[in-house]
Structure 1
Amino acid sequence: MTRAEPGEPTLAAPPPAPGADPPTSRRHGYGTVVLAAFALVAAGDLSALALGADAGHTVLKPLLMPLLAAYAVLRQGPPLLVAALLFGWGGDVLLLGDADPLFLAGMGSFAVGHLCYLALFRRHGEHHAPARGTFVVATYACALIVTVALLWPDLPSDMRIPVAGYSLLLTAMAFGATTLGLTAAAGGGLFLLSDTLIATDVADWAQAPRPDFWIMLTYLAAQALLTRGVLTGALTNGSAPERR
């Protein structure tokens, strides 16, 4: 290519291809890398729990939700989703301690995260048909009543009201997740299962071998599925289209 002489027309840069959006493409590429990092750290954390390596779990657990939140940011997820994940991170860190005040504070952090999820479901979810909605409400209500009734006698007296109140909020979140489709519904159900396993430990019920492994496995799957469900549901149920 030769330099144009004065007065000669210059060649204009070719226009971008239709639909091309390099910044968005780069952001999505970074998102894929961050999601892969989340999967690797999750695998490492679960391996540490399976092997009884408490130090590994202590190091890796606090990295998980920030990575998932970073993925949500890079995928242009709703701010409430990022907030829910970061409040989950707060609960994760607080529950690394053994003291009751830390446990209650962690429960409170997760509770705020559930409120964020509920706001998301209200904004982006679709209403069920009346018959289906009644069935789903009845199913979750029965699960809540039976679980709290069974746990209540064995819970420490100072934990009964907090656990019952948290269980009500958690069940509402799990029900709300059903309005965003099967992916989010599965995430809500797994979150309910994960925290129920924690409650059985607080109630001093007999536990399966390596109970922390099963708690963390269901919890990580829950947060990942909720994140995916919200990102997909926010796109298809009324948010501005995400560029691809």
Structure 2
Amino acid sequence: MTAHPARVLLGAYTVVSAGHLVVQLAGPAWLSRPTQMLLMPLLAAWLWWAAPARTRLVRLATAALALSWLGDSLPAAFTGDTAFLAMVGGFLLAQLAYAAAFWPYRRESAAGTPLAAGYVVAFGVLFVLCAPGAGALVVPVAVYGGCLTLMAVLATGADRLAGIGGAVFFCSDALIALGAFADWYDPPVEGFWVMLTYLTGQALLAAGVLRRVRSEAATGCAVG
């Protein structure tokens, strides 16, 4: 019996993710970029094939994964601050797409609760730690951080898995910011931890979207 395309794609995402993390730990370094560039297309294709309907939520979440691929890929074409801005630009668009996807669920989200306040405090602390080293990039970093925080809060309204994914994604980007702008931050195998949280966060966001869409399909009560 032929495997469903969604299962094949999820299996491929899992295998390539594991391979990429091994590369982060042990090399060879030249495999890092090509494996990373495969990941978001595989996850986006999985979500698209697995969803029972291509609802607004699925379309925007798939777009967010595609834009995340831009954030993964564009820095390779540049150097220095330009490469960093290219990455931030791609992921900023991804956060906006996710926020738009989750916006119809805002009344079910953590907005206005202590959890949302905790996100705001966490972003404030991170910004204070990173701002002195950000220099001319401080404004783009602040804008991106605000959008990331909004996405993470709104994700809690779509599904619990999506909410956890938003939190893990927030942590991943916090590690990137500290690595880029805080001189005192120098953990071992930094790239491994960044990618582990990034890949986990994205997978949980996609899984949460899928679970919400399946629930809406079963009840006939789509939102947005």
TM range (shorter): 0.7 to 0.9
The residue identity in structure 1 corresponding to 2:97 is C
1:201–1:207 contact (8 Å) kept in structure 2 = yes
- The answer for the alignment partner of 1:123 in structure 2 is 104
Q: Are 1:166 and 2:141 matched, yes or no?
A: no
Based on CA coordinates, which of the two structures has the bigger radius of gyration? Answer: 1
Matched residue SS, 2:99: helix
Aligned-pair identity (%)? 37
Per-residue CA shift, 1:92-147, capped at 9, x if unaligned? 11234543212102211111111111111113565258xx8421221111111111
Rounded Cα–Cα distance in structure 2 between residues aligned with 1:88 and 1:201: 19
- The answer for the alignment partner of 1:55 in structure 2 is 30
The residue identity in structure 2 corresponding to 1:127 is E
Rounded Cα–Cα distance in structure 2 between residues aligned with 1:139 and 1:186: 14
Q: TM-score, normalised by structure 2?
A: 0.87
- The answer for the alignment partner of 2:184 in structure 1 is 205
Rounded Cα–Cα distance in structure 2 between residues aligned with 1:171 and 1:124: 16
- How far 1:166 sits from its partner (Å)? 0.6
- How far 1:48 sits from its partner (Å)? 0.5
Q: Are 1:30 and 2:8 matched, yes or no?
A: no
Structure 1 residues 214 and 114 mapped into 2: Cα distance closer, same or farther (>3 Å)?
same
Per-residue CA shift, 1:221-241, capped at 9, x if unaligned? 000000000111133247986
The residue identity in structure 2 corresponding to 1:50 is L
Q: Are 1:138 and 2:120 matched, yes or no?
A: no
Per-residue CA shift, 1:148-201, capped at 9, x if unaligned? 11221222x111111111111101111111112321111101111111111111
- The answer for the alignment partner of 1:148 in structure 2 is 127
Q: Are 1:226 and 2:220 matched, yes or no?
A: no
Rounded Cα–Cα distance in structure 2 between residues aligned with 1:66 and 1:114: 17
Matched residue SS, 2:113: helix
Q: Are 1:89 and 2:91 matched, yes or no?
A: no
* Equivalent in 231, 235, 244 of residue 214 of structure 2: 235
Q: TM-score, normalised by structure 1?
A: 0.80
Structure 1 residues 208 and 98 mapped into 2: Cα distance closer, same or farther (>3 Å)?
farther
Flag as ranges the 4+ runs of structure 1 deviating above 4 A: 237-241
Q: Which moved more, 1:98-107 or 1:66-75?
A: 98-107
Q: Are 1:107 and 2:88 matched, yes or no?
A: yes
1:125–1:237 contact (8 Å) kept in structure 2 = no
The residue identity in structure 2 corresponding to 1:120 is A
Provide the aligned length of Structure 1 versus Structure 2.
213
- The answer for the alignment partner of 1:68 in structure 2 is 43
Structure 1 residues 128 and 226 mapped into 2: Cα distance closer, same or farther (>3 Å)?
closer
Unaligned runs of 5+ in 1: 1-24
